[in-house]
Amino acid sequence: MKSFRVRELNSSDTEALLAFEIQNREWFEAHIDARDPAFYTLHGVAEHIQSYLSDFTCGTWHPFVIEDPNGEIVGRANLKNIDAANSTAEVGYRIDQCACGQGLATLALRQLIQQAQMRWELRQLVAYVYEANIGSKKVLSRCGFLLEPPPSNAEAGDECRFVLSI
């Protein structure tokens, strides 16, 4: 089995992250909301990274990348909207289309859970997934997240909310 590594995002990742995002743009946009077209430039990705690192410094975001054995970025994972007062955060991840099915989303999500517990001392994680995103729903369930019943006013096509108490 290939050896993959999850590590914190850093400012030197601009070119590699841009390549990853461009290569997978159509794939991602089939599963999550599209990014602004201005994002898909060196300047756009550099600003994106700096924003994430600034939020990391403030304690509201913890960004990671997943690298293959050659050091190429094949995924991303984030603890976002970290709320220390309520001990909660959201999780999010995206995996290169060519790397799907290798357990990378599960690897990344387990890293997020570990960081949430050990570094941030969080008690609850939340994930939002579109109903049609079967793969992510399976990953979340595999890692112990439970699907919450939709609110009574939910409409078809809304996102599903998964919660993990830790």
- Whole-number pLDDT of residue 46: 96
Rounded Cα distance between 66 and 36, Å, is 23
Alpha-carbon torsion 131, 134, 146, 7, what sign?
negative
User: What are the tens digits of pLDDT across the range 26-58?
Assistant: 888 877 777 888 999 999 999 999 999 999 999
Q: Specify the CATH class of 5-120 in words.
A: alpha beta
pTM: 0.89
Q: pLDDT digits over 66-103, tens only?
A: 999 999 999 999 999 999 999 999 999 999 988 888 89
Per-residue pLDDT tens for 106-134? 999 999 999 999 999 999 999 999 888 88
Q: How far apart, in whole angstroms, are the C-alpha atoms of residue 75 and residue 116? A: 19
**The pLDDT of residue 12 is above 80:** yes
> Would you place residue 146 in the very low, low, confident or very high pLDDT band (cuts 50, 70, 90)?
very high
- DSSP, residue by residue, 49-98: HHHHHHHHHHTSEEEEEEE-TTS-EEEEEEEEEEETTTTEEEEEEEE-GG
In the chain, what are the domain boundaries?
Answer: 5-120
Does 155 have pLDDT greater than 70? no
